[in-house]
Amino acid sequence: MICELCGKDTPYAKTVLIEGTFLKVCEDCTKFGKEAKPEKKEEISFPSSQRLERRKMRMRTRNVYDNNVKELALDYPRRISNARNAMGWTQEVLGKKINEKKSVINKLETGDMRPDNKLMVKLEKALKISLTEEVKPVVVKKRKKSVYTLGDLIEIGDEK
Ligand SMILES: [Zn+2]
């Protein structure tokens, strides 16, 4: 390879910017110009990484919607006692129906005790109620303005 500046044969040529022109030069001649740097990596990868990020966010959002979680309702004590009263049962009667002590029913209705899954199912069956509520995912609202619209740019321009 011939140096485009001094004409010397060189095994390794560098592309440098000399007075506005890109020249392939030998090692000695690189000092006469600015080394031409390859395009910055960030500039190339930024848009695609942003796209990837958006796609990840979409997937995350969909997953949240797919898995609406059912959790014990906060007002389960009230739900139990209301349903029991509607049935016309005492705590003792309800206890007998689901094979639990009256004290357990009492604790449930005062909120001193959280029913485990098994007990919850028994209560729901006996009282024909639901003790769970769906935990709705929090929907994050889009930020109003993430990019400037043309109108914004005009406004900014007018502020001079
Ligand atoms: Zn040279």
- What pLDDT was estimated at residue 154? 58
Say how far apart CA 89 and CA 106 lie, in whole Å. 13
- What pLDDT was estimated at residue 124? 96
Task: Find all residues with CB under 8 Å of 156, minimum gap 6, and list them.
Answer: 148
Encode burial over 134-154: b for 16+ CB neighbours within 10 A, e otherwise.
Answer: eeeeeeeeeeeeeeeeeeeee
Ligand 1 centroid – CA 11 distance (Å) = 11
pLDDT tens digits for range 101-123 = 999 999 999 999 999 999 999 99
- What pLDDT was estimated at residue 67? 56
- What pLDDT was estimated at residue 160? 46
Ligand 1 centroid – CA 3 distance (Å) = 5
- What pLDDT was estimated at residue 128? 96
All residue ranges of the chain with pLDDT < 70 are: 36-69, 136-160
Ligand 1 centroid – CA 64 distance (Å) = 63
Side-chain-side CA neighbours of 143 within 13 Å: the count stands at: 4
Ligand 1 centroid – CA 17 distance (Å) = 13
Its pTM stands at: 0.45
Q: Which of 114, 75, 84, 122 is nearest to 92 (CA)?
A: 84
- What pLDDT was estimated at residue 143? 59
What are the chain's domains?
Answer: 1-38 (no CATH), 70-135 (1.10.260.40)
Ligand 1 centroid – CA 2 distance (Å) = 8
Ligand 1 centroid – CA 37 distance (Å) = 19
Ligand 1 centroid – CA 40 distance (Å) = 26
- What pLDDT was estimated at residue 112? 95
